[in-house]
Each structure stands twice: as C-alpha cells, then as structure tokens.
Amino acid sequence: MKKILIPIFMLFTLSIHAFDLDAYWEIGEVKIGGAFQKEDPKARLDFNMNALKFCFCDRDSGFNFSISPFYCNSDILVMPEEDEKNTIYLMTLLNAELSFNTLFKMSDADKYGLNLFASAHYVDPIVKNNFQINAGLEFSITSALAVFNENPLAPRAKLFSFRTGFRYHDRKPMFFCDIGVDLGAVFMAFTPKPKDWDEYKRKRDEEQKEEIKVKINSE
C-alpha cells in the first residue's frame, strides 16, 4: 500500500506547485581572485571566465540552473619558483551550475542575489580527466540590458559578483574567493537607458501577476 501512496503523493505535490520560470542568458563573466591550499604553493592568483551562459530561474522556489559551453580557469603561483610547473590550466566545454537565492522572496530578487551555489566543469579537450567542482556562497547584482528591453529572452549582465567557497581541481581541495563582472556590462556603460524602462518593468510585472491569477483561477 505504501508503494502506491508514495508516487500518488509525489504527483499531487508536483501538481499544486506552479513553476514560474524566467529564462535569460548572459554574454559571459570574467573573474579574478585567489586560490589557497594547505600544501605548497599555498597561494595562487586565480583567473576564470565563461561565455554564453544560459540561465533558468524559478521565481517560486529561488532555484537557478545554468549551462555554458565554455569555461576557462587558470591558477598561477604568486611567487613562482618553477614557472610552467606551477601553473594549472583548465578549459571545459560542459559546464553546469545549480544555485539557490536566499533572497528569492524579496521584491528585487531578480536584481540582488545571495546564492548558495555548486558548479561542475567537465570535458577538457586538451587534458583528459581534467575537471573542476566549486561550491560556496555568491553575492551578485544583476541587471537586464536596456538595449534589448523588448526581447523576452534578452541578455542580462551580472554587474557585480563576489564568490567564496571550496574548489576541487587537479586532484586537490582548495579554498577560493574571486570578484568579477559580466562582459555584458560594456553595453550598460555605453548604451543610454530608455526613459520608459522603469515603466516597462512595472507593466511587465503586473502582466505576470495577472497571468498567475488566471492560472490559479483556471485550476
């Protein structure tokens, strides 16, 4: 009897949960920081970037999922003794990240994020079995690019990102922290903001609320 009730209960809970997915993409991020480990060399200069990041956010739960076809990470020893041997390089083509925005109940949750995240980076075409796993906390400020304001899948720019956490790379655990910005922020710097952008956002939010009410009433 229990085996029958469990899947019925799961189907019921899924049916009453309405997903409010918000899909968007980012041009790419560039971050610089440091990586630290117990053994020598203990400190490294860390540089990483990704390109074409596709994101899917559930406004109801605060969970975010993203995939990217390109990720590059390079760790360089701050005071190198053996130049080439002390540089760790990674370039992967299969990259995914799952995060939870602890501020998802705020009205500005689409702009400010305090995210618990975990990311995995696999498939390095240069070095076999080379991969990286990151997990930690990120504070970010994200904004839509006004130049694409009429497009429902408009790119957004992560104007500021600060991350800290743990990393497993090159068969070693380490601590890392970095700070970065989205390449799309260049558009924000050189593109004037339309006067009606705030009004557009207000109308869009009202339309989304009306759509949710209609769905609830129809159910």
**Tokens in use for 35?**
């990586």
User: HEC string of the chain?
Assistant: CHHHHHHHHHHHHHHHCCCCEEEEEEEEEEEEEEEECCCCCCEEEEEEEEEEEEEEEECCCCEEEEEECEEEEEEEECCCCCCHHHEEEEEECEEEEEEEECCCCCCCCCCEEEEEEEEEEECCCCCCCCCEEEEEEEEEEEEECHHHCCCCCCEEEEEEEEEEEEEEECCEEEEEEEEEEECCHHHHHHCCCCCCHHHHHHHHHHHHHHHHHHHHHHC
pLDDT of res. 216? 75
pLDDT of res. 12? 46
Taking the C-alpha atoms of residue 210 and residue 214, their distance in angstroms, rounded to an integer, is 6
pLDDT of res. 191? 58
Q: Determine the Cα angle at 100 with ends 95 and 106, to 5°.
A: 135
Spatial contact of 34 and 45, defined as CB atoms under 8 Å apart: yes
pTM above 0.95, yes or no: no
Spatial contact of 40 and 77, defined as CB atoms under 8 Å apart: no
**Quick one: 158 exposed, middle or buried, by C-beta within 10 A (0-12, 13-18, 19+)?**
buried
pLDDT of res. 95? 97
**Tokens in use for 66?**
């993203």
pLDDT of res. 78? 61
pLDDT of res. 46? 93
Taking the C-alpha atoms of residue 16 and residue 67, their distance in angstroms, rounded to an integer, is 28
Nearest to 159 by CA among 130, 122, 195, 186: 186
pLDDT of res. 33? 95
Spatial contact of 116 and 102, defined as CB atoms under 8 Å apart: yes
pLDDT of res. 196? 56
Taking the C-alpha atoms of residue 122 and residue 36, their distance in angstroms, rounded to an integer, is 22
List of the chain residues with pLDDT < 70: 1-20, 78-86, 145-153, 187-201, 219
